[in-house]
Chain A
């Protein structure tokens, strides 16, 4: 079973993603902020990281930097954000994000993108 970590400070979005992806058969690890996400990433191996961009303590861009530069991992990263400006999206990609979704997002679309990212990893 593929393991996905979801870092999101909005509890509602976190729960929604959890319910949606759990039903697809993935194992979901919930992180309420960036710091929690990094702590968990140090303890466990995951197949995909879904992260919000703006979170307390450590933001989404910092998570990408830590995973790519410090952990030296190629785990696919999907960024979720309400801010969809070109500069923000480009920055995330430059740092090493694999995909970007702008809120409000469709759960079906999320599911498809997750599946694609995991398939590409394999």
Chain B
């Protein structure tokens, strides 16, 4: 486990170094307690490690060795002096530090402390203090190296992203950066669950450890990867669909040809079955069913039996039956349609199960199928309809279903009776005048009006007083067509007391009822000193 972690860390470090262009800036970790490291700085007063690492772009952990009033700062862990020496040269060339040298380090519990590059040491070191730092002091190195001083200028090897980082640091300032980091971590503690907090902290830590440019590069790579993935998916989906469509067209044409030859007795059944290839595949069975449906849509008569025979003999009806049991409504509807067209016998057996289905589209499909399957009594399903009826029109004697327990079936029947002017049984329409539903009564009044059911006039006048305004207006309108001179008095009372709408309709009914009605209207105007000219102008206007 520990080994795996070590390898992972090595791998991540290597990737980061490669991305940053510091391919060899990679120490080899030693497992011994005594090893070589590279001393990069030494000072009498403790250094601000965070600032130091940022300034020289050191990504490795810095170990502080305190002895004889000196604080020595070392990095890396090497098995040999030679490796450490090579690493020292690399540090010099990459970071701009001069006088880095290898030294032997023995792991001791104290006073050695390991500090992460971005951690700010508690020691207060001013920017100007860097000039006082003596590198490689005091130790067994040549004298000239002991006096080497950390350069106060920028590192020699400056890459664009380093410059960018430094620029950002200059703008934002070290303190602000650390403050933001602390605030972000604090925010995570307060707002995120424990499970997420670890990932969040690690993300923040990495964001502040690695250069911002790297984060951008990773983000850019991530977006490029996403984009590539989406493009790949679109391309493959398109390719797959085109291939499927080509396959479908090929087999559709092929099956059409084979079936044509069978339908015209050019080939016998056995030859046809042999030629109908790949029929074990569900996709091909679907194609064949669609071909049979096209035959059915275009041909009738002697071909009907043959098409059904093909459908049943190839057991395609079983597939359609399976579809009717599907949990998906569109598959169910498809199954019902296929069976209705190609195997009416099977469809008749199952269709009643779907008449009251929960899904309105399945109900509609089943109802349409019922009409097709029962030519002698196509609308008998209305008697057993318990679910709301979807609105569609078919010619039948809708009066037969007007006593349905479903109010919307009753209303639908009334609308259809009006629309198709069906006079089969007026008494059933009169019964609807006593309906508890206002809409049903409204439609019944309209039916009496539109069908000119004169016998219904007395009923209309009887219910007038108890009806809501909408229905009262409809009754006044109806009198224009079913009323006579007996109703002049009633209409006069409406003109004298009713609302504007009622007055308009009463005037209209009187005016258009007969010549006598028109004269009565003038008499009312004179007798009661009412100016009806405006109403008359309105009703005479063909736009109204």
Listed in ascending order, the chain A residues whose CB lies under 8 Å from chain B are 10-13, 15-16, 19-20, 23, 82, 103-109
Listed in ascending order, the chain B residues whose CB lies under 8 Å from chain A are 253, 256-257, 260-261, 263-264, 266, 291, 294-303
CB atoms of B303 and A12 under 8 A apart = no
Cβ contacts under 8 Å, A11 to chain B: 253, 256
**How many residue pairs between the two chains, A and B, have CB atoms under 8 Å in the bound complex?**
53
CB atoms of B260 and A19 under 8 A apart = yes
Complexed CA–CA distance, A11 and B266 (Å): 18
Cβ contacts under 8 Å, B301 to chain A: 105-109
Give min CB distance, B466 to chain A, whole Å: 45
Q: Which among A12, A15, A82, A107 has the highest number of chain B CB atoms within 10 Å?
A: A12
Cβ contacts under 8 Å, B266 to chain A: 19
Using CB atoms, name the residue of chain B closest to A19: B264
Cβ contacts under 8 Å, B257 to chain A: 15
Main SS class of interface, A: helix
CB atoms of A12 and B300 under 8 A apart = no
CB atoms of B296 and A104 under 8 A apart = yes
CB atoms of A10 and B299 under 8 A apart = no
Q: Could you say which of A19, A23, A104, A109 contacts B298, with CB atoms under 8 Å apart?
A: A104
CB atoms of A104 and B256 under 8 A apart = no
Cβ contacts under 8 Å, B263 to chain A: 16, 19
Complexed CA–CA distance, A11 and B252 (Å): 10
Q: Could you say which of B253, B261, B264, B300 contacts A105, with CB atoms under 8 Å apart?
A: B300
Cβ contacts under 8 Å, A105 to chain B: 298-301
Interface pairs (11), CB distance under 8 Å: A10-B294, A10-B298, A12-B256, A12-B291, A12-B295, A15-B257, A16-B299, A20-B264, A105-B299, A107-B302, A107-B303
Cβ contacts under 8 Å, A12 to chain B: 256, 260, 291, 294-295, 298
Give min CB distance, A60 to chain B, whole Å: 15
Cβ contacts under 8 Å, B291 to chain A: 12
Using CB atoms, name the residue of chain B closest to A80: B298
Complexed CA–CA distance, A106 and B302 (Å): 7
Using CB atoms, name the residue of chain A closest to B261: A19
Q: Could you say which of B261, B300, B302 contacts A104, with CB atoms under 8 Å apart?
A: B300
CB atoms of A103 and B264 under 8 A apart = no
> Which 3 A-B pairs give the minimum distances between C-beta atoms?
A106-B301, A104-B300, A19-B264
Using CB atoms, name the residue of chain A closest to B295: A12
Complexed CA–CA distance, A106 and B296 (Å): 11
Cβ contacts under 8 Å, B260 to chain A: 12, 15-16, 19
CB atoms of B299 and A107 under 8 A apart = yes
Cβ contacts under 8 Å, A106 to chain B: 299-303
CB atoms of A104 and B299 under 8 A apart = yes
Give min CB distance, B47 to chain A, whole Å: 84
Give min CB distance, A33 to chain B, whole Å: 17
Give min CB distance, A6 to chain B, whole Å: 13
Give min CB distance, A112 to chain B, whole Å: 11
